[in-house]
Structure 1
Amino acid sequence: MTVPDPTPRVAEFERRAYGMFLHWGLYSQLGRGEWILHLDNDLIHEEYEGLAETFTAEAFDGRKIASLAKAAGMKYAVLTARHHDGFSLYDTRGLTDYDAPNSAAGRDLVREFVDGCHAEGIEPFLYHTTLDWHRDSHECSPGEFDEYVDFLHDSLEVLLAEYDLGGIWFDGDWSRDDDWRLDERYALVREHQPEAIVVNNTGIGNEGEVSHPEVDSVTFEQREPDPVNREGMDKYVAAEMCQTMNGHWGIGERDFDYKSPGDIIETLATCRARGANYLLNVGPTAEGAIPEYETAALRRAGEWVELHDDVIYDGRPVDCETPGRDAVLEADDDLYYLAFDLSVSGHEDVTVRGDGTGPRTIVGLDREVTVARWVDSDEGIRVLQSDDADLTTLDCTGYPYGTNTVVRVAELDA
């Protein structure tokens, strides 16, 4: 079977590699995650909707957020223009008064986000829910649901007509087993933004599923992606893993279990090794600022991305077998070996040792490798190969004392 070629816009999306997800809305004022309206039985809808009166967005700065994404090595950003609570961060042009211009903010926050992204060279994407608790889309009658889909399409048309987007990210079709009129929805996208990337989150349990022919990327929510088997597909689809920095999409003020810069580096490298993008979420504060820890962690991981930018943005997985989590990527005819779980060299009294050094064998590379070196130090690596180049062994040295790049990258001259 043949594998279809990606369209130029999908190929460009894959080269963006790494993006920032932002879940922010009225729920951020409560600090208990983005699903609190649905999960807290004591929270009355009318009281929740009253949070619009205190939603000032006084610390929200679209360009500052885009600047942070840029420093982190991210190439695109996705903002929740409307989440499941039904509150919109954009000017809905009179479709509803449950939006940011009619809140204490008094501003079109999506406009500020999109303009800020463009100013910093970050591609803006917008998340838009299809599940709407404000309108009971998940449990209304069939007739009411059809009216709701009309409202949804009208809302989307506002977004698509008013903002210059790199893509749109849908979420919520899994909430109801009914006719979402997807052909109409995607026709709206193609009418207004023919080059936009279309993502429709299939959710936990349906990872990697292609839900419609117009979808450009499959999703892997909160777990490492599987390599996508594109043989026999009618069109090439990309893949993207989305993940939270802690256990919540919206800010969780009592959630202390955050990912480290090392966690971020490992997951990004794993995604790229499997041919997928990595969309990492942050939950802004009630006022719209990125919290200090997330800011610091993203900047620190961004220094690693800068050191390995060629392989992260342009690298494509090579079909071969590697030990453990290791992988081989190819970028512009250059080969790179990604080595996980290496230990640090040094005196036994000051070094935490492991079993991470020594020979690592690649099976099925089938290319003659003449020279190998670590990208971070230019140190050479001894290479042994079988006569038919089916087996390639790299004698992986440990990190020099004082360094640890979490995933160490070697360039192979083949």
Structure 2
Amino acid sequence: MKKLVLLLLALSCATQTIFAQTPTSQDQHMKWWREARFGMFIHWGVYAQLAGNWQGHQIGRGGEWIMNRGKISVADYQQVAQSFNPVKYDADAWVKAAKDAGMKYIVITAKHHDGFAMFKSGASKWNIADATPYGKDVLKPLAAACKKYGLKLGFYYSQAQDWNNPGGAAARKVTSEGWANPDSAKIDAYTKDNTGHWDPAQTSATMGEYIDKVAVPQVKELLSNYGDVAVLWWDTPTNMTDEFAKKLQAVLSLQPNIITNDRLKRPNFPGDYKTPEQKIPAQSELDGRDWETCMTMNGTWGYKSYDNKWKSTETLIRNLIDIASKNGNYLLNVGPDALGQFPQGSIEGLKGIGQWMKVNGEAIYATNGSPLGTLSWGRCTKKTNGSNTTLYLHVFNWPTDGKLVVPGLKNKVNSAQLLAGGKKLSTTTTDEGVVINVPAQAPDAIATVIKVETAGTL
């Protein structure tokens, strides 16, 4: 009996130790990702060749969905690949642009929903090396450039939807979302009866066969042939089952340190972080899990020649700050054109962010979310240094009276200064909080950062 009690006690202690270590283990696993805060998403594939147009019509929604929303047949779409020849692709220039913008990692569409692999694959000839005049794997030079510039590399992989390889899933979209096709009623009836598919060639195999013969082998290729892969970014688990998901998840063992998102199969495969799309959650919507907002710079993920609704540099920078102030990451998209060039609007946006980050990156990288409440003038990020705390006050709305009030801050202020240039600022403590005396004009109209060193933790 005594031995049994001791055994149970030992098991209890062991269990507690395991659970006690788990958060620390996950914290270590996510350390680089949390510190990075800012990454580049790249949506690039055959769809860039069409640039949002099909047979004289501008197809609605994202450029990367043109095959589905335009209801382009498999044969016609595969014909497009014969013109896809991105001779101006320069992986080195791409990665340098990301680095200069202050980004710490890149996630590229290794295969989007059209099933086209941007790498040489033994699992399907529908890939850039075998199906285009370009004839080369574009991921290998990208991996080399990431290594050269010190950026982490991640792969987006559409594990469920695949509109070209037989058996892949297809999310049903009504034809009118693409354009006013006169055959819409007929097409919509067909997709309704055929699980979203619009071409019989798409259903000549089962989804199980597709998972076994295409998806699993291709993920193995991605995790075996490109060195360290930091992120696997799954997407749209249309018709996924737990059985399919387990097969794909098992391949992750090839990269023990890989971080994955929450889109493999919901809810039983939550991954390491959540992925709000095209929006920044309110503080009340967050549940303590790691999260990353993915967002376009204009209105499309994949290239469209006529989408010039670019977000301003101010919006991009303030989005990054807002996300960091809530413990999130910002994955900002670029959709290169068919020649392999970044659109001019993307280049300008990246340069604008880079200029701000070169001065203020300290207030973004390796920071934690704001310990303060709602701030009418902007946002706050922080770093804990032993028993002291550094606050970074990102001021969007500069005070007209020369006094910035930090509400609720009761800690002793050891110093306050403009992050750009280091000019010292005087402070006073009131019942309302700490008041910082600031210059009459904002040094940076987009976001001026004030660095405040305080005693104690927050």
Q: For this structure pair, what is the TM-score category when the shorter chain's length is used for normalisation?
A: 0.7 to 0.9
Q: Distance in 1 between matches of 2:153 and 2:117?
A: 17
Aligned residue for 1:96? Answer: 124
Pick aligned residue for 2:308 from 245, 252, 256:
256
SS state of the match for residue 217, structure 1?
coil
Q: What SS does structure 2 have at the residue aligned with 1:185?
A: helix
Contact kept? 1:338, 1:407, Cα under 8 Å: no
What is the alpha-carbon distance in structure 2 between the residues aligned to residue 356 and residue 129 of structure 1?
53
- Is residue 399 of structure 1 aligned with residue 441 of structure 2? yes
Question: What aligned pairs does 1:5-404 form with structure 2 within 5 A after superposition?
Answer: 5=24, 6-32=26-52, 33-41=63-71, 43-93=72-122, 95-102=123-130, 103-130=132-159, 131-134=161-164, 135=166, 136-138=168-170, 139=195, 144-150=206-212, 151-164=214-227, 165-173=229-237, 175-176=238-239, 178-179=241-242, 181-189=244-252, 191-201=253-263, 211-212=267-268, 215-227=271-283, 228-230=286-288, 237-324=289-376, 326-333=378-385, 334-343=389-398, 358-363=403-408, 365-386=409-430, 391-400=433-442, 403-404=443-444
1:102-146 per-residue CA deviation (whole Å, 9 max, x = no partner) reads 121100111121112111111111110121111341337898122
The CA distance in 2 between the partners of 1:30 and 1:143, in whole Å, is 27
In structure 2, what is the equivalent of residue 412 of structure 1?
Answer: 452
Change (3 A) 1:369 1:211: farther
Q: Give the whole-Å Cα distance in 2 for the aligned partners of 1:142 and 1:221.
A: 33
Distance 1:52 1:325 in 2: 50
Partner of 1:348: none
Count the aligned residue pairs: 382
User: Structure 1 residues 399 and 48, CA, compared in 2 at 3 Å: closer, same or farther?
Assistant: farther
Q: Residues 211-256 of structure 1: CA distance to partner in whole angstroms, max 9, x if unpaired?
A: 44561121111001345433xxxxxx42111000100001121111
User: Which residues of structure 1 form unaligned runs of 5+?
Assistant: 203-208, 231-236, 344-353
Contact kept in structure 2, 1:310 and 1:331, CA below 8 Å: no
Partner of residue 23, structure 2: 4
Say if 2:74 and 2:163, in contact at 8 Å, map to a contact too: no
CA contact (8 A) 1:149 1:180 kept: no
Gap change, CA 1:302 and 1:201, over 3 Å in 2? farther
| Per-residue deviation, 1:391 | 2.8
Give the deviation of 1:96 after TM superposition: 1.0
CA contact (8 A) 2:301 2:333 kept: yes
Percent identity over the alignment? 25
The AA in structure 1 aligned to 2:251 is L
State how far apart, in whole Å, the 2-side matches of 1:257 and 1:17 are: 25
Q: Distance in 1 between matches of 2:372 and 2:266?
A: 26
Give the alignment's TM-score, normalised by structure 2. Answer: 0.77
Rounded to whole Å, the distance in 2 between the matches of 1:183 and 1:356 is: 60
**Amino acid corresponding to residue 32 of structure 2 in structure 1:** E
Q: In 2, Cα distance between the equivalents of 1:275 and 1:304?
A: 20
After superposition, the Cα gap between the structure-2 partners of 1:296 and 1:318, relative to the gap in structure 1 and judged at 3 Å, is: closer
Amino acid at match of 2:307: D
CA distance in 2: counterparts of 1:270 and 1:62, whole angstroms: 30
CA displacement at 1:318 relative to structure 2: 3.5
Residue 405 of structure 1, CA deviation: 4.7
Alpha carbons 1:16, 1:74 under 8 Å: kept: yes
What is the deviation of 1:22? 0.6
C-alpha change, 1:319 and 1:51, in structure 2 (3 Å) is same
Which structure dedicates a bigger proportion of its chain to helix?
2
Alpha-carbon shift at residue 17 of structure 1 (Å) = 1.2
**How far is 1:39 from its partner?**
0.9
- Offset of residue 180 of structure 1: 5.5
| Contact 2:396 2:445 (C-alpha < 8 Å) held by counterparts | no
Q: Distance in 2 between matches of 1:83 and 1:360?
A: 48
Conservation of the 8 A alpha-carbon contact between 1:275 and 1:317: yes
Q: Runs of 5+ in structure 2 lacking a partner?
A: 1-19, 53-62, 171-194, 198-202
| Equivalent position SS for 1:219 | coil
SS in 1 for 2:448: strand
**Partner Cα distance (2:401, 2:245) in 1:** 49
Q: For residues 350-398 of structure 1, what are the alpha-carbon distances to aligned partners after superposition, in whole Å with 9 as ceiling and x for unaligned? A: xxxx8696443322x44212432221243344433247xx833334545
What's the Cα RMSD here? 2.6
Other structure's SS at 2:304 match: coil
Q: Distance in 1 between matches of 2:345 and 2:251?
A: 39
SS of structure 2 residue aligned to 1:225: coil
